Amino acid sequence: MASQIRISLDAMGGDHGPEVVLPGAEIALERRPDIRYALYGDEAKINEILAHHPKLKAVSEVHHCTVSVKMDDKPSQALRNGRYYSSMWRAIEAVKTGDADVAVSAGNTGALMAMSRFCLRTMANIERPAIAAIWPTLKGESIVLDMGATIGADAQQLIDYAILGGAMARALFGIKKPSVGLLNIGVEEVKGLEEVRTAGRLLREADLSSLSYAGFVEGDDLGKGTVDVVVTEGFSGNIALKAAEGTAKQISQYLRSAMSRSWVAKLGYLLAKRAFHQLREKMDPSKVNGGVFLGLNGVVIKSHGGTDAEGFASAVELAYGMVRNELLEKISQDLVFYHRSGFQDRIDNEKVESQKAGNQ
């Protein structure tokens, strides 16, 4: 393990580009002095800001890029215009060449995923990458994936996500055998998707040493923190995440308006200000900013595009933690174990059996 963690940053990514990325990088550096940065983007703009951040400047190398991926570029456009030359591409490429241990970008998710797949490729024995989010819960935090890297997932892909998420939980939370649940719906009549049930049965039978399969969980288990890792396909995962974010915003707006409606309420607010501050901290999305791209030959972290410097710093610290705690090594170990255990054979047999059954 390198004593320093080398992080490549897409300095142009996000709604505010280097004006948020660089101050955010400096905040993270204060907390993790063993970070070294490779900054990709418009050299003139970056150097102008670095002039005000001497500590950051001292640990950064600037690499000039002529192209920036726009926040509303479609992935195909981004690949066409930005491959090889954009700040986003080059930050990812630094991970491929070994110049960086991990890349962080606040650029658009679709473009970042398309470039990451193209540049880093998916790991052997993993069909598709996934985006994992960190979900604040009543018990602390959980990992939820896939948040929308792809739509739909068969049983095999759900099992891949379970393994990827389990490895991330070990890296992030330091738990030896994280609990993993499959997101499902509890309406008895429909009994859940066929692929979710198959994945559940196979995970239970496999009895993996790297994770503890905890069965099905429902949408309200996300906030409860019932399990360490929640696995679902990308469409429902993305919708669950945004529905929860929307509800949190909605309630904080209700609260604000209720607390300003009378002078007594305002006085109450002043007295309880510290308590409200704690509440806001809990609900603050910048505290858990950062989606982790899993299943690629390298780690890429996606920061919220509209985040502030504090939020970007969280994403950088997440990147730091993923390298420090050997996320990729953990995933590789788990995949090796999983294939040696004959688990894959069982799934293949399962597929053949169900095809036979379907043909009868």
Among 176, 254, 346, 354, binds its own copies (CB under 8 A): 254
Gap between the Cα atoms of 309 and 316, Å rounded: 10
Give yes or no for a contact between 350 and 222, defined as CB atoms under 8 angstroms apart.
no
**Residue 87 structure tokens:** 């700040």
- Tell me how far apart the terminal alpha carbons of the chain are, to the nearest angstrom: 55
Task: Give the three-class secondary structure for 39.
Answer: strand
Task: Give the three-class secondary structure for 85.
Answer: coil
Residue 157 binds to its own copies (criterion: CB under 8 A): no
Instruction: Pick the closer one to its own copies by CB: 267 or 336.
Output: 267
Among 51, 124, 271, 357, binds its own copies (CB under 8 A): 271
The binding track of 1-40 with respect to its own copies, each residue x by CB under 8 A or -, is ----------------------------------------
- Judged by CB under 8 A, the number of residues near its own copies is 73
Question: Which stretch, 27-35, 46-54, 85-93, 180-188, contacts its own copies (CB under 8 A)?
Answer: 180-188
Gap between the Cα atoms of 44 and 15, Å rounded: 19
Instruction: Pick the closer one to its own copies by CB: 206 or 315.
Output: 315
Task: Scan residues 40-69 and list those touching its own copies (CB under 8 A).
Answer: none
Exposed, middle or buried: residue 349 (CB in 10 Å: 0-12, 13-18, 19+)?
A: exposed
Instruction: Pick the closer one to its own copies by CB: 99 or 154.
Output: 154
Among 45, 70, 177, 255, binds its own copies (CB under 8 A): 255
Is the Cα dihedral 92, 96, 100, 103 positive or negative?
Answer: positive
Among 41, 107, 148, 311, binds its own copies (CB under 8 A): 148
Task: Scan residues 187-246 and list those touching its own copies (CB under 8 A).
Answer: 187-190, 192-193, 218-224, 232, 234-236, 238-246
The binding track of 98-137 with respect to its own copies, each residue x by CB under 8 A or -, is ----------xxxx-xx---------------------xx
Min dist. Cβ of residue 278 to its own copies (A): 5
Give the helix/strand (H/E) hosting 144. Answer: strand 141-145
Give yes or no for a contact between 113 and 75, defined as CB atoms under 8 angstroms apart.
yes
Question: Which stretch, 26-34, 54-62, 87-95, 268-276, contacts its own copies (CB under 8 A)?
Answer: 268-276
Instruction: Pick the closer one to its own copies by CB: 60 or 232.
Output: 232
Residue 291 phi/psi, 5° resolution? Answer: -100, 135
Min dist. Cβ of residue 173 to its own copies (A): 19
Gap between the Cα atoms of 238 and 152, Å rounded: 11
Gap between the Cα atoms of 258 and 62, Å rounded: 49
Of 10, 7, 9, 8, the closest CA to residue 68 belongs to: 10
Among 2, 58, 272, 352, binds its own copies (CB under 8 A): 272
Among 173, 216, 276, 337, binds its own copies (CB under 8 A): 276
The residue type of 105 is S
Q: For residue 10, what are the β-bridge partners?
A: 40
Task: Scan residues 284-303 and list those touching its own copies (CB under 8 A).
Answer: none
Instruction: Pick the closer one to its own copies by CB: 135 or 320.
Output: 135
